[in-house]
């Protein structure tokens, strides 16, 4: 019997393998001092209450004071969050986080008068303020804020909405408690004869197994539990949709979807163009399912057959330092400044490398202004996909690093619409780099299959989700019913369209819509689909263009949140108002399917 791998305590791993949080605060005492400074000083912001619109100088002083509070709060939050991620079972980390959360709630409450007072300045006076040189550094953020004036209510109304927010959003907590606590999925006996608990976290691992009967049993057992709670879940989802529609109506938006798109100034046409272009290209997805059915030698294909790998896992042992070099070599088309900054950062403790007891699972990149963009990993040398994870998180970190170098604090933060572009572009460059050097057919097939699955799950699947959100919100806005049957019927139609005529859609899959967490916080998933489309186009420009294309992409990274996302991407060379970026992603998907088919055919014939 193979001995079980012991997860080390944090004290048992070399310091060089951990991130260096002394770059944020040298000592815990320094953190405590910053905390005390914020706690003892934040109420001074109230001295500006009732005076924000007096003059450009008063507004500037107010904004600069709030800016200083925000930078301290961001830094404290960054440190607290990373310490909690190191070990969420550590009482000191837990209490630090809870204490800071309480303080920041008070800080936000004390400063809550600022935006309404800015909105209350009449238009002529506000324009004079913007024209004043004193407010030059604040013009971008003030113009963005001012856009919300038609959708801002009176102070008493805003207060009521704030107080009522937990009630309006109670469905989200209900969904979380029901699916993560109350629902029990039982256990399954795996191929080795061991009983393994079935849960939301293990479900996908069962669907990756080669044993089809095990996959089928996992699917039906998993959805049986959702079926037993379908009416409660449908009620929670209906409440979520109604809350979105209510909030949009009360703030005078034409629809819930337009309310969600407003902050990033995304035209509705971008959303509709995504759905229309993906719909047009569904036959290529159906072709992929045909290939999958052929390779797996199935007479029919079900959803539980779509996750099992077509290509066996690659047996590798890539140490972390080797992974760094692989990633930075792949990113060399982005230029010396990008590559050397990343290489130096990864070698100077930007990364918390390995799994330890109590450490948060998964991976992320996180930063605060003027501090390193730290990366959390749970790197395993024998899991080749972890090299891609490092590349992905490095994309986020370098996006943040460039934005910090070139933008003021109030303008450096970029929206989610842009965030996934920088990270997935890095994965595209890594795939290209590895394919250029891969000689073994198995490695090439693995890399191509991996990219196909990324596009399938991000572009196709998330677009289907986005279409579902659009349709059910329109039903509510048009006065239609939101019942369990309505949800099931709408979702079933989408499943049949996206999976295609030669795919067997099990009845249980119609209630998948009730278990997707994003549906309880709508109009978010489309950003994944637009993000991967933009990154594929930008990667192509970087690889096949010249210095101008690289400069344009680096300009995208440097812009942070200084411009709206569509404008930022347009300046980088990608127009998301056009179907072209999505069509390019579809072309890549088609090419990869053809290549995978040829590689599998060659392997089968012994070539």
Rounded to two decimals, what is the model's pTM? 0.93
Quick: pLDDT tens for 326-351. Answer: 999 999 999 999 999 999 999 999 99
What backbone torsions phi and psi does residue 232 show, to the nearest 5 degrees? -65, -45
Tokens of residue 134, six digits: 């004193």
- pLDDT value, residue 356: 92
- pLDDT value, residue 57: 97
Q: Specify whether the CB–CB gap between 363 and 376 falls below 8 A.
A: yes
Mean pLDDT of 489-509: 97
Residue located via tokens 């072709």: 287
Go through 194-222 and write b for each residue having 16 or more CB atoms within 10 A of its CB, e for each that does not.
eeeebbeebbeebbebeeeebbbbbbebb
Structure confidence at residue 5 as a pLDDT band (50, 70, 90): low
Quick: pLDDT tens for 284-302. Answer: 999 999 999 999 999 999 9
- pLDDT value, residue 200: 85
Q: Specify whether the CB–CB gap between 302 and 397 falls below 8 A.
A: no
CB atoms within 10 A of CB 47: 11
Domain boundaries, given as residue ranges, for the chain: 10-152
Pairing of strands 195-197, 351-352: unpaired
CA distances from 489 to 234, 354, 401, 479 (A): 13, 45, 46, 17
- pLDDT value, residue 136: 97
Mean pLDDT of 530-544: 97
Mean pLDDT of 30-48: 97
Fill in the DSSP letter of residue 458. Answer: I
Q: Which of 508, 507, 526, 416 is nearest to 468 (CA)?
A: 526
Fill in the DSSP letter of residue 459. Answer: I
Residue located via tokens 């961001």: 74
DSSP assignment of 146-208 equals HTTGGG---HHHHHHHHHHHHHHTHHHHHHHHIIIII----EEE-TTS-EEE--TTTHHHHHT
Provide the β-strand partners of residue 79: none
Our measurement of the distance from residue 127's CA atom to the centroid of its chain's CA atoms, rounded to an integer in Å, reads 36
CA 575 to CA 145: how far, in whole Å?
A: 25
Mean pLDDT of 572-584: 97
What share of the chain in percent tops pLDDT 90? Answer: 86
- pLDDT value, residue 1: 35
Quote the radius of gyration of the chain (alpha carbons, Å): 26
Go through 147-159 and write b for each residue having 16 or more CB atoms within 10 A of its CB, e for each that does not.
eeeeebeeeeebe
Range with top average pLDDT, 202-211, 227-236, 314-323: 227-236
Quick: pLDDT tens for 362-401. Answer: 999 999 999 999 999 999 999 999 999 999 999 999 999 9
DSSP assignment of 101-159 equals HHHHHHHHHHTTTHHHHHHHS-HHHHHHHHHSGGGGGGHHHHHHHHTTGGG---HHHHH
Quick: pLDDT tens for 436-471. Answer: 999 899 999 999 999 999 999 999 999 999 999 999
Mean pLDDT of 77-102: 92
What backbone torsions phi and psi does residue 161 show, to the nearest 5 degrees? -65, -40
Structure confidence at residue 4 as a pLDDT band (50, 70, 90): very low
- pLDDT value, residue 3: 43
Please list the active-site residues.
Answer: 393
Instruction: Inform me whether the pLDDT recorded for 561 exceeds 60.
Output: yes
Sign, CA torsion 63/70/556/371? positive
- pLDDT value, residue 316: 86
Structure confidence at residue 177 as a pLDDT band (50, 70, 90): confident
2 class by beta-carbon count within 10 Å (0-12 exposed, 13-18 middle, 19+ buried): exposed
CB atoms within 10 A of CB 182: 10
Fill in the DSSP letter of residue 511. Answer: G
Tokens of residue 469, six digits: 């959100």
- pLDDT value, residue 175: 87
What backbone torsions phi and psi does residue 351 show, to the nearest 5 degrees? -115, 135
Instruction: Inform me whether the pLDDT recorded for 86 exceeds 70.
Output: yes
Give, rounded to a whole angstrom, the gap between the first and last alpha carbons of the chain: 37
- pLDDT value, residue 33: 98
CA 328 to CA 433: how far, in whole Å?
A: 10
Compute the CA torsion angle 460, 466, 470, 476 (nearest 10 deg).
120
Instruction: Inform me whether the pLDDT recorded for 604 exceeds 70.
Output: no
Quick: pLDDT tens for 62-79. Answer: 999 999 999 999 999 999
CA 567 to CA 534: how far, in whole Å?
A: 13
Is CATH 1.10.287.110 the classification given to domain 10-152?
no
Q: Specify whether the CB–CB gap between 502 and 290 falls below 8 A.
A: yes
Mean pLDDT of the chain: 94
Instruction: Inform me whether the pLDDT recorded for 96 exceeds 90.
Output: yes
Instruction: Inform me whether the pLDDT recorded for 237 exceeds 50.
Output: yes
* Side-chain-side CA neighbours of residue 532 (13 Å): 25
Fill in the DSSP letter of residue 310. Answer: S
Number of H helices, E strands in the chain: 26, 5
Instruction: Inform me whether the pLDDT recorded for 267 exceeds 90.
Output: yes
What backbone torsions phi and psi does residue 50 show, to the nearest 5 degrees? 80, 0
Instruction: Inform me whether the pLDDT recorded for 361 exceeds 50.
Output: yes
- pLDDT value, residue 454: 96
Instruction: Inform me whether the pLDDT recorded for 413 exceeds 70.
Output: yes
DSSP assignment of 381-400 equals TT-THHHHHHHHHHHHHHHH
CA 515 to CA 509: how far, in whole Å?
A: 10
């Amino acid at each position: 019997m193979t001995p079980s791998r012991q997860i080390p305590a944090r004290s048992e791993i070399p310091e060089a393998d951990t991130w260096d949080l002394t770059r944020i605060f040298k000592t815990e005492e320094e953190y405590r001092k910053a905390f005390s400074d914020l706690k003892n000083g934040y109420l001074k912001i109230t001295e500006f209450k009732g005076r924000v619109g007096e003059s450009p100088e008063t507004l500037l002083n107010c904004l600069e004071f709030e800016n200083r509070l925000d930078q301290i709060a961001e830094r404290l939050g960054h440190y607290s969050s990373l310490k909690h991620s190191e070990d969420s079972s550590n009482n000191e980390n837990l209490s630090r986080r809870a204490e800071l959360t309480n303080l920041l709630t008070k800080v936000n409450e004390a400063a809550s008068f600022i935006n309404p007072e800015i909105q209350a300045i009449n238009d002529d006076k506000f324009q004079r303020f913007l024209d004043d040189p004193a407010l030059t550094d604040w013009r971008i953020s003030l113009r963005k804020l001012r856009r919300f004036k038609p959708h801002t209510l009176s102070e008493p109304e805003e207060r009521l909405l704030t107080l009522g927010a937990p009630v309006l959003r109670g469905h989200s907590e209900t969904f979380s408690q029901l699916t993560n606590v109350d629902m029990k999925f039982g256990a399954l006996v795996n191929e080795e004869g061991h009983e393994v608990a079935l849960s939301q976290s293990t479900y996908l691992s069962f669907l990756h197994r080669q044993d089809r009967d095990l996959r089928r049993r996992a699917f039906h057992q998993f959805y049986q539990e959702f079926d037993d709670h379908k009416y409660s879940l449908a009620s929670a989802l209906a409440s979520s949709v109604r809350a979105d529609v209510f909030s949009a109506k009360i703030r005078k938006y034409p629809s819930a979807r337009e309310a969600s798109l407003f902050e990033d100034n995304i035209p509705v046409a971008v959303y509709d163009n995504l759905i229309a272009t993906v719909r047009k290209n569904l036959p290529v997805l159906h072709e992929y399912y045909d290939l999958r059915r052929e390779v797996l030698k199935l007479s029919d294909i079900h959803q539980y057959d779509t996750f099992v790998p077509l290509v066996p896992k690659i047996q590798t042992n890539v140490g972390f330092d080797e992974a760094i070099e692989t990633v930075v070599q792949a990113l060399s088309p982005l230029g010396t400044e990008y590559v050397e900054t990343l290489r130096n950062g990864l070698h100077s403790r930007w990364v918390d490398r390995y799994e330890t007891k109590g450490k948060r699972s998964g991976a992320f990149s996180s930063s605060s202004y003027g501090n390193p963009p730290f990366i959390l990993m749970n790197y395993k040398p024998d899991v080749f996909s972890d090299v891609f994870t490092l590349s992905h998180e490095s994309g986020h970190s370098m996006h943040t690093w460039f934005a910090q170098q070139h933008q003021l604090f109030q303008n450096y933060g970029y929206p989610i619409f842009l965030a996934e572009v920088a990270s997935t572009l890095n994965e595209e460059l890594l795939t290209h780099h590895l394919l250029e050097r891969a000689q073994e057919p198995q490695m090439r097939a693995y890399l191509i299959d991996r990219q196909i699955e990324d596009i399938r799950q991000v572009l196709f699947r998330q677009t289907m989700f986005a279409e579902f959100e659009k349709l059910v919100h329109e039903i509510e806005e048009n006065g239609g019913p939101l019942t369990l049957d309505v949800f099931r019927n709408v979702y079933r139609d989408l499943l049949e369209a996206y999976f295609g005529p030669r795919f067997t859609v099990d009845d249980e899959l119609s209630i998948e819509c009730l278990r997707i967490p994003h549906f309880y916080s709508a109009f978010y998933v489309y950003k994944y689909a637009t993000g991967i489309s933009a990154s594929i186009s930008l990667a192509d420009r970087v690889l096949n263009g010249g210095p101008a294309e690289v400069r344009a992409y680096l300009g995208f990274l440097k812009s942070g949140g200084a411009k709206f996302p569509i404008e930022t991407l347009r300046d980088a060379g990608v127009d998301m108002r056009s179907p072209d970026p999505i069509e390019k992603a579809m072309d890549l998907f088609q090419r990869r399917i053809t290549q995978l088919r040829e590689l599998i055919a060659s392997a089968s014939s012994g070539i």
